[in-house]
């Protein structure tokens, strides 16, 4: 059902993109928009992973530089039946992680130093299993295309502001220009967020299957969400279009499961995982070295300060941010 829903939403976004082109320039504008979208998607297909890893200054690690972290991903990849992805670490105190790459054979997963400092190996395994689930479902490609289309529709909306008022170019005149400038970009944003939320629930479930214990991921989600409320990710704030890639929204203020959220409500996700754990029974088969302390890397990047204690309340001593901050 999630796959069908995602396909329908992507088809709607493609049709919306072509409609905006039609509103701006008629049939010729629609064809130009289609060619333009194809070109942008082709570029994103080959370069999105390099761009996002560069954005967050992620550094590739191996078994020598981050032995426990690397082994967790290696074992999880084996459980999932996936090729070993490239493993990255980026220096940021906010606990979070993301996956990127056009397909499982060219995938990369990345975790923040804050994530490794704050979570136990079992929780890290739950998080990285979630990211590998995105790779297995090819969500990294789906969301890259979605983000590209949404950005292109917004850009066409800006073009409509300058060219849409010319009645000879716009079949619907001023009304068409208004739709292209305001309605279409808003609709594209809502569709992008709906697709992102749909894929997160699927990745939670598959990630729990890969690591063998849904409660590991449930516990990690709670810690990451509390850490994200307290610690700002400045790189993410400068590049909000990448927010959908993370396991928890890295932007300040996103606390509700509504039309304007790129991620489902964390409490809803935790509840679903807890229900899944009750249905599975037992603790699963994956073993994260039997350790209960944070996962340590052998200094592949500058050491980050740790996240405040996850058990210290919903927002620590600082008041929660509003949804429009």
247/257 Cα distance (integer angstroms): 14
Query: What are 275's two structure tokens?
Result: 């229900």
Beta bridge partners of 60: 88
Compute how many other C-beta atoms are within 10 angstroms of the C-beta atom of residue 233.
Answer: 24
Beta-strand relationship, 86-90 and 59-60: antiparallel
- Quote the CA–CA distance of 180 and 156 in Å, as a whole number: 7
Runs of H (alpha helix) within 56-138: 67-80, 113-118, 121-136
Please tell me the distance from the alpha carbon of residue 325 to that of residue 67, in angstroms, as a whole number: 39
Token pair 């082709």 is at which residue? 42
Q: Which one of the listed residues 68, 131, 200, 254 is annotated catalytic? A: 131
Residue 74 contacts by C-beta under 8 Å, 6 or more apart in sequence?
63, 84
Residue 131 annotated to the active site: yes
Catalytic residues: 131
């Amino acid at each position: 059902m999630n796959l069908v829903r995602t396909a329908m939403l992507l088809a709607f976004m493609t049709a919306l993109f072509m409609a905006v082109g039609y509103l701006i320039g008629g049939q010729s504008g629609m064809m130009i928009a289609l060619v333009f979208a194809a070109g942008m998607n082709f570029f994103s297909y080959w370069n999105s992973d390099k761009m996002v890893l560069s954005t967050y200054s992620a550094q590739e690690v191996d078994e020598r530089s981050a032995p426990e972290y690397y082994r967790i991903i290696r074992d999880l990849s084996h459980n999932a039946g996936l090729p070993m992805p490239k493993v990255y670490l980026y220096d940021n105190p906010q606990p979070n992680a993301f996956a990127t790459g056009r397909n499982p054979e060219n995938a990369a997963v990345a975790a923040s130093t804050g994530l490794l400092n704050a979570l136990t190996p079992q929780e890290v395994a739950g998080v990285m299993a979630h990211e590998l689930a995105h790779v297995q479902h090819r969500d990294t490609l789906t969301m890259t295309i979605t983000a590209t289309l949404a950005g292109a529709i917004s850009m066409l909306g800006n073009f409509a502001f300058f060219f849409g008022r010319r009645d000879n170019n716009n079949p619907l005149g001023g009304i068409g220009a208004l739709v292209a400038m305001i309605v279409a970009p808003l609709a594209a944003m809502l569709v992008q967020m709906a697709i992102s939320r749909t894929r997160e629930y699927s990745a939670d479930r598959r990630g729990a299957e890969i690591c063998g214990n849904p409660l590991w991921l449930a516990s990690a989600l709670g810690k990451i969400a509390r850490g994200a409320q307290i610690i700002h990710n400045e790189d993410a704030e400068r590049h909000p279009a990448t927010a959908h890639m993370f396991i928890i929204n890295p932007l300040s203020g996103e606390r509700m499961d509504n039309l304007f959220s790129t991620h489902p409500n964390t409490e809803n996700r935790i509840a679903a995982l807890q229900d899944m754990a009750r249905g599975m029974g037992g603790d699963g088969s994956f073993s994260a070295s039997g350790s209960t302390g944070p996962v340590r890397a052998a200094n592949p990047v500058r050491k980050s300060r740790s996240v405040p204690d996850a058990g210290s309340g919903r927002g620590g001593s600082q008041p929660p941010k509003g949804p429009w901050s």
